[in-house]
């Protein structure tokens, strides 16, 4: 059974960089697209971006200038970095397996506050 687990700081200061890692267990990295999706409290879902099993990335244009997603195949982890965060980046951050988003992590709440 595939399992995904997010990890990282739950509190980030404004203007700093949000960094999260997702650890994949119970399944193969290929041929999937490993994705980050976020959900502000009480609101809907926004796809941040993905990295493919062979390292191709695609980012939401609304966040593209601030986002980097990377993949470590040896550790079976992929990571999200979001630069210059503001309060608007406060959200529950999920990692998930694409293309069908059939497996999700449980989510990690990141609050942007000084």
Partner 1 sequence: EIVLTQSPPTLSLSPGERATLSCRASQSVSNYLAWFQQKPGQAPRLLIYDASNRATGIPARFSGSGSGTDFTLTISSLEPEDFAVYYCQHRSNWPRTFGQGTRVEI
Q: Tell the smallest beta-carbon distance from residue 70 to partner 1 (Å).
A: 19
Task: List the interface residues with partner 1, window 43-62 (CB under 8 A).
Answer: 44-47, 58, 60-62
Q: Which residues pair with 108 in a beta bridge?
A: 93
How would you label 43-55 residue by residue, b for 16+ Cβ within 10 Å and e otherwise? eeeebbbbbbeee
Q: Tell the smallest beta-carbon distance from residue 104 to partner 1 (Å).
A: 4
Q: Interface mask (CB under 8 A) for partner 1, residues 55-94, using x and -?
A: ---x-xxx-------------------------------x
Q: Compute the Cα dihedral for 80, 84, 89, 90 and give only its sign.
A: positive
Measured from the CB atom, the residue of 77 and 108 that comes closer to partner 1 is: 108
Whether 57 and 40 have beta carbons less than 8 Å apart is answered as: no
Q: Interface mask (CB under 8 A) for partner 1, residues 12-41, using x and -?
A: ------------------------------
Measured from the CB atom, the residue of 18 and 94 that comes closer to partner 1 is: 94
User: Hey, what are 7's tokens?
Assistant: 């990890």
CA distance 9 to 25: 21
């Amino acid at each position: 059974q595939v399992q995904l687990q997010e990890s990282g700081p739950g509190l980030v200061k404004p203007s700093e960089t949000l960094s999260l890692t997702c650890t994949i267990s119970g399944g193969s990295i290929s041929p999937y697209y490993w994705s980050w999706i976020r959900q502000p409290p009480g609101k809907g879902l926004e796809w941040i971006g993905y990295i493919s099993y062979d390292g191709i990335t695609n980012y939401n244009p609304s966040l593209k200038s601030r986002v980097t997603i990377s993949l470590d195949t040896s550790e079976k982890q992929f990571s999200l970095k979001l630069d210059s965060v503001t309060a608007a980046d406060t959200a529950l951050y999920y990692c998930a397996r694409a293309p069908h988003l059939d497996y999700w992590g449980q989510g990690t709440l990141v609050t942007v506050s000084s």
